[in-house]
Amino acid sequence: MKAIIQDGYGPAERLRLGEIDKPGIGDGEVLIRVRAAAVSPGDWAITNGLPYIARPVYGLPRPRTAVRGTDVAGVVEAVGTSVTRFAPGDAVFGWARGSFAEYAVGSEDTLTMKPARLTFEQAAALPESGQVALQALRDHGRVRPGHRVLINGASGGIGSLAVQIAKSLGAEVTGVTSTGNVELVRSLGADHVIDYTREDFTRSGERYDVILDNVANHSLSRLRGAVTPRGTLVPNGGSFQKRWIAGGGRVVHARLLSPFVKQALRPFLFSRRHEDLEALRDLVEAGTLTPVIDRVYPLSETPQAVRHVGTGHTRGKVAIAA
């Protein structure tokens, strides 16, 4: 089968299209004929071997997993003997090993049925970014009806879903984005949109019950100044410009500061949960959540897709059609 192979760390050009064997499956696993995959900043980071401190986890001197990609949508080709949720022919989405390929393998617990109203590209855009947004707002931000919520980076892969999820939780939502994306964020349901090239929300005097920061372009102290005295800041964004630790220093700073302030500072690592995949599917089927697709690349142009995500300026998600 065709797959995108990574033989070593480096820029996106290190990824190449090649032929490998179709993967086998275990008892609790599902073989998926990939119809679409989504590219995340994590895929760009692992391709480049960033942050350096994580290379022992990724693999030394090259990635342990040669095929990148985890977010997937496709059709079940075969199932293991203990799988009960799926059968060949089912359309599914979720996580799989090596989704930048014609076939990928996922466990039964990391997949769920694809909503009929989504394309495969849209469904592939949901798993990671959708769960980050859901867990950041529902679990860590504890957003409730009437809360004033600000999403910094409201037009990106996480932010565009976070705006819609915050609205589904009953919040009054303010999205922060660039001039060219103001109308997009408004179309997603944001009650207010701030163009960061014209206004700095940390200096406006407005305060919010919850801020989800996907950008990390303001210091924690400046962000805290825009949070209500007992509100919550979820500092999700990080920068790989700090090539050794990326956003790790910001996470540590927030955790160390949290016990000494009345505001809640809640950096987190998202967890892959089957029940959250189903929660996202329910939001889609209710008509309250629709992923935004920036561009769709063919499998052969995966390096260009990864490079585009690495610019940090996508509108929604970047997808790969296999």
Q: What is the pLDDT of residue 254?
A: 66
Phi, psi of 2 (to 5 degrees): -85, 140
DSSP state letter for 146: T
Per DSSP, what are the bridge partners of residue 93?
73, 112
Q: What is the pLDDT of residue 270?
A: 84
What tokens does 44 get? Answer: 């760009």
Rounded distance between C-alpha atoms, residue 65 and residue 101, angstroms: 13
Burial of residue 197 (number of CB atoms within 10 Å: 0-12, 13-18, 19+): exposed
Q: What is the pLDDT of residue 266?
A: 85
Phi, psi of 82 (to 5 degrees): -100, 5
pLDDT tens readout for residues 160-184:
999 999 999 999 999 999 999 999 9
Pick the CATH number of 128-265 from 2.60.40.10, 3.40.50.150, 3.10.180.10, 3.40.50.720: 3.40.50.720
pLDDT-flagged residues of the chain (< 50): 244-245
What tokens does 86 get? Answer: 């799926």
Q: How many residues does the chain have?
A: 322
Nearest to 169 by CA among 137, 216, 135: 137
Element holding 177 (H helix, E strand): strand 172-177
- SS3 state at 63: coil
Rounded distance between C-alpha atoms, residue 117 and residue 126, angstroms: 13
Q: What is the pLDDT of residue 51?
A: 73
Sequence spans of domains, the chain: 2-126+291-321, 128-265
Per DSSP, what are the bridge partners of residue 143?
none
Pick the CATH number of 2-126+291-321 from 2.30.110.10, 3.90.180.10, 3.40.50.1820, 3.30.1010.10: 3.90.180.10
Nearest to 80 by CA among 21, 25, 24, 23: 25
Asked if residues 269 and 251 have their Cβ atoms less than 8 Å apart, the reply is no
What tokens does 59 get? Answer: 């693999």
Rounded distance between C-alpha atoms, residue 254 and residue 268, angstroms: 10
Q: What is the pLDDT of residue 144?
A: 98
What's the chain's Rg over C-alpha atoms?
19
Residue 188 CA, distance from chain mean position: 17
Listing DSSP states for 85-132 in one string gives S--TT-EEEEE-B--SBSEEEEEGGGEEEPPTTS-HHHHHTSHHHHHH
Residue at token pair 């407005």 = 206
